Structure 1
């Protein structure tokens, strides 16, 4: 069996462990529905992404503007203006006769523009300096402006790419501006578009978007981005009844899940929370830092063409699925995938031979919090297919085993971080105790743990010991890609410790004191040694 609290991760497990062994390859079947969705969305979105001399746009450099409180001129808002350094393309904002426009210039031309540096925008340290009058709008005032919605979305530059000309960068045309206005009008006048994702966002400890007015999930997107994502949902809903009537339940559900994966993955690089990466000139990952950070400029993708299009994501998803099928082709009896709290498993006492757990890493990643970005879309796509799983407005954060300062209530003389750590230890203890309950005597518990923080190791080993396990072996393996964003400059290591524990064949009469006396010192010693190895590893 498999168990996962988070519905987003549960969907992945459902595909890999349950549907893939049963259904097998579906490449030919699903490609038909991918083509249907592409055909519909391309036609519906064509007018909102105008081409240039027959070449379709792939990405946009988007930013904001406000009215300068001092001089009254438009104040363009961005923390830098480089579109693509390697292609020598930078955005140059200019105000003429009270009207804001944008050019695309190269570094040589940039040097001739007085007071302009493409590496620096109008925003620094959260304050915005007007390039016309030089007056600074402080962060606190800027936050109020954005929170009240007193800003405009701007399209500052457009990237086009084709097989002949490659990648080219141009300033927005009048047609681009009109397309934005048309998208705004459609979103505001259409009942569904004007209400979709109008649910309040959970404001986590590391959330830096809510203060700037991104309070509902629809606020994560500009109007045209929201329109594009909703159009793919609309196309999905048109083919859903045909899929459900044409295939048996398992295969139909699998196809629907994979189609939803393709569409929902698109949000990562077309939202207000993903910046433009200047070394590539394309949108970066919305969750590259494992949190929701407000961006002073953002990338927008044309989802119908280019690097981060529906077609591109469909290839990635389908190739990954077919690879999974090869790995599980020998499986005769697929796993049953449950969605729920690991501290309350649907298993009898002593009925399991082995348990494998990949636990959360203390306060390193707030999984439930960041997965809400995907959950709200999966709820739109699959809420009627898996009604119980997606019944709630957001993911379950109260039962999540992480050090979340938001969900604890410390006394006046207590530290929030210490109480969060205690709650994490308590929750992990409940999970390990449940594993102890369902394991047969002599059964094994294997734990994957990847973290550089010594305190996280202490919490983990304390929970294991107090649950009654004997730690019998440790192994270190390379498990993370070193250049992956989530590994760089944070608490994640690029290696994983496999910690193997065993449930005693005989139940000790005085479990905790005996284990604590005999094992505590050695366990902590091993844990600290392994943590030091991970810190020093070059993998």
Structure 2
């Protein structure tokens, strides 16, 4: 079989990682119009990262396309310039405001097409050239673990025919909503009834992309809400403020006689007191009695005990410390009647016997630009407790599942997660959505507007309205909580994290009102997403098992698989699926043919579905190996495959990156026949969360760049593997920390993950690395050797550092900025080939009174000039750079570097080493200084070159 000629892609060489990470982090604060607001998914990749990765995966690195002798400086500079042009495209491409900027997107699309034409030219003699290498048609794209759909969406945006597949029907629906449906209705004029309230109507003349579809979602959403108010509005009656209610409440005085709409009902769970004297009292289980922490508007509830029972009293003003604490914590609860302890085991037992109750604690109503908190009343409470829903989901919750806790308290079915009122209203809206579908068909016919496929259009509107209902459901369960903080002060959705935890006090929103969590606002959020979707090339969303699907054949692949035992997608998805099925199964019968989301083939290592943790690990390894082998066998050989892996916080310790999940995942990738050519840390957290403990220093995810291993790859010995690590890792690490490929240096915080790439590239290119006893080296052992190579490279003792710096490094490792005995310092200095007096004269330590300590960077002289200093340890140069950067900025730091160009590489390497040392010792503030120096290195070098000393510098120019 003729081998495909595959030019090296940009992602295999370099990326403007800082720009991608900054855009990905910023994206977390974007809400309106972001696909994350279309429908909840538990681990969605940032659009910026997905877009950048796919682009870099498809464009050729200039080292492959620039003509000339690669050894000559002129050619190197040309390659560097071309690479920088690609970086500029990425820098613009990842910005949120450029998501639909056609000028920026077209630059990216043209670069992809140009690279494809070059690849087709190289393969024009391939026997299947006409089929596989058509320069006029880009290959298709496939994500076999599509999940929340960010990756297929961005492939479509970049001009590729995109295919998304997933075993989970909820994920398939999300991808249909983003890439499959919108292109079918480009330019569709809305047909729905214009709301009578002109403020609600969005009357536009621009119906480009899928804006007409979005407008109809708004219009029919308002129609449904109005119908729901007529049907179930009596369950949320407004509350009339009486003189009695306003007594001693200055905030209510201006509202006397007025009826105020309900925003939310705040409930507590109850259990019968185990104390025999109060066994007839259902005592409250409350996490906190605080309702609002807003300054000068604090509100809290206090239970008032009288006549053998209690009532909730709403209080205003500064919250006493004694009133903040609730009645329940991890170990158990407190009986407010007797002040005795209530064991958690008792509460669980009562729950399993169906004896947990609920009691209204407070009613939140809408005032004039403010929220008001009213005490409960019996009539309002009775409305919620006594209504009887006609249809309720009878599907069971799993006996045990990742992140599930509610079963321990008697919640066995999905219906148990909702109040009767919630079930009634959700069912009502679900029925109205199905009615709206018939209206869509009638309105298309009566409006006379052209529609390419009325039935499909009606199905699409129904689907998007169901997504809006899912937003209501997410805020309309007994797991949803009330957030009293000033920035939120509202209902926190059910899935504030990847779990179904037990909540004691919960918030019930008003779905047909105007406050947070209502159906109309859900429709508006969905519509804003539809408006921003590319709605360009025809694309497809399909239900398929990643291990057996054929969709990947000949396609570019980028994917974000499940992460070992991190998230139980299928069990969590059932929360929405049972309602989606009720509404949509008549229109999407194949996707909703099962009572619940398929779980048997889901690739997660959950011991709850297997006999043991060992069996779960084996299931994950074998299943993931099959799925990834399928990609390796079917994917387009002209492109690497990119695979995301998300780290859990426990996966980095003592500066090394290792865990069962990470190692098992790498093992699956290698077993599947891939070699790993690179690992790129993609951070989506804000910079101030990335420094500190080892846990917070993790990249949110790492992108593995994989290529199919050569057929007939040989096995090598452990000794040979170690030899290659010693020979190749220094150059690879130098490229990462020095930015010699044209990209910014990898920040120290990301180096542990990024450096795995070149190490695993050596390990995974062989069929096996054999230990002395003939056994195959495990991924775990390979990672240990790779991390050791990183440590050895960064160790000053292994470099060309001066003796003063070696002394300072050892002293810092032992004492930090603290003092030590002169005698000990003298002994260490002699061992390092220097003296305490010499190091003191160099200006980096203070010595006196029998004590020695290192000077902090802030204590260094501000008038220091390296040109006039005859003894400059790298330690001094590094900390002077930190001082100038912090006090004067990057330009002045660059000017300083220009005056000591020969020390640039060593300063940079020392900063990496010291960052690693500080992380290991958990010296967060010290680590920050070194990370910031490296993070600014690209700008510092640029400023240094602008000073006019380029010819004096060694290793500062970004070339090979």
TM-score, normalising length: structure 2: 0.49
**Equivalent residues in 2 for 1:115-514 (5 A)?**
117-162=322-367, 164-181=368-385, 184-187=386-389, 192-193=390-391, 196-203=392-399, 204-243=401-440, 246=444, 248-279=454-485, 280-305=488-513, 306-324=515-533, 327-329=534-536, 331=537, 334-347=538-551, 351-410=553-612, 416=613, 418-452=614-648, 453=651, 454-455=658-659, 456-479=661-684, 495-504=700-709, 507-508=711-712, 514=766
Number of residue equivalences: 506
Instruction: Give, in angstroms, the shift of residue 62 of structure 1.
Output: 0.8
Q: Is the 8 A contact 1:482 1:494 kept in 2?
A: no
Q: Is the 8 A contact 2:224 2:432 kept in 1?
A: yes
Instruction: Give, in angstroms, the shift of residue 441 of structure 1.
Output: 3.9
User: SS of the counterpart of 1:71?
Assistant: helix
User: SS of the counterpart of 1:394?
Assistant: coil
Distance in 2 between residues matched to 1:459 and 1:402, nearest whole Å:
12
Distance in 1 between residues matched to 2:315 and 2:432, nearest whole Å:
39
Distance in 1 between residues matched to 2:323 and 2:230, nearest whole Å:
36
| Residue in 2 that maps onto 1:2 | 164
Distance in 2 between residues matched to 1:319 and 1:28, nearest whole Å:
9
Q: Is the 8 A contact 1:214 1:220 kept in 2?
A: yes
Q: Deviation per CA, 1:389-445, whole angstroms, max 9, x where unpaired?
A: 1122221222111121111113xxxxx2x4322322221101111112212444421
Instruction: Give, in angstroms, the shift of residue 103 of structure 1.
Output: 1.4
**Equivalent residues in 2 for 1:72-151 (5 A)?**
72=278, 73-86=281-294, 87-106=297-316, 108=318, 111=320, 117-151=322-356
Match of 2:767 among 490, 515, 526: 515
RMSD: 3.2
User: SS of the counterpart of 1:128?
Assistant: strand
Q: Is the 8 A contact 1:78 1:122 kept in 2?
A: yes
Cα 1:96/1:47, change in 2 over 3 Å: farther
| Residue in 1 that maps onto 2:949 | none
User: SS of the counterpart of 2:259?
Assistant: coil
Q: Deviation per CA, 1:149-174, whole angstroms, max 9, x where unpaired?
A: 22332111111224x24111111234
Larger RCO of the pair (alpha carbons < 8 Å, separation 6+): 1
Distance in 1 between residues matched to 2:316 and 2:668, nearest whole Å:
58
Instruction: Give, in angstroms, the shift of residue 30 of structure 1.
Output: 2.4
Instruction: Give, in angstroms, the shift of residue 527 of structure 1.
Output: 8.8
| Residue in 2 that maps onto 1:32 | 219
Q: Deviation per CA, 1:263-291, whole angstroms, max 9, x where unpaired?
A: 01112222111222221432212122311
User: SS of the counterpart of 2:582?
Assistant: helix
Q: Deviation per CA, 1:43-102, whole angstroms, max 9, x where unpaired?
A: 223211121222211112111233323223331221221112223111222343345421
| Residue 12 in structure 1 maps to residue 222 in structure 2 | no
Q: Is the 8 A contact 1:158 1:170 kept in 2?
A: yes
Instruction: Give, in angstroms, the shift of residue 13 of structure 1.
Output: 0.8
User: SS of the counterpart of 1:476?
Assistant: strand
Distance in 2 between residues matched to 1:337 and 1:272, nearest whole Å:
33
The 4+ residue runs of structure 1 with deviation greater than 6 A are 481-484, 488-492, 509-513, 518-523, 525-529, 532-539
User: SS of the counterpart of 1:502?
Assistant: strand
Distance in 2 between residues matched to 1:406 and 1:268, nearest whole Å:
25
Q: Deviation per CA, 1:361-409, whole angstroms, max 9, x where unpaired?
A: 2211111121111111111111122222112222122211112111111
Distance in 2 between residues matched to 1:299 and 1:20, nearest whole Å:
35
| Residue in 1 that maps onto 2:235 | 48
Distance in 2 between residues matched to 1:225 and 1:92, nearest whole Å:
27
| Residue in 1 that maps onto 2:272 | 67
Q: Is the 8 A contact 1:128 1:139 kept in 2?
A: yes
Q: Is the 8 A contact 1:357 1:448 kept in 2?
A: yes
| Stretch deviating more after TM superposition (301-310 or 127-136) | 127-136
Distance in 1 between residues matched to 2:627 and 2:235, nearest whole Å:
50
Q: Is the 8 A contact 2:714 2:768 kept in 1?
A: no
Instruction: Give, in angstroms, the shift of residue 510 of structure 1.
Output: 6.7
Structure 1 stretches of 5 or more lacking a match? 411-415
Q: Is the 8 A contact 1:477 1:496 kept in 2?
A: yes
Which has more strand, going by share of residues? Answer: 1
User: SS of the counterpart of 2:260?
Assistant: coil
User: SS of the counterpart of 1:75?
Assistant: strand
Q: Is the 8 A contact 2:387 2:424 kept in 1?
A: no
Which has more helix, going by share of residues? Answer: 2
Q: Is the 8 A contact 1:59 1:159 kept in 2?
A: yes
Distance in 2 between residues matched to 1:43 and 1:492, nearest whole Å:
53
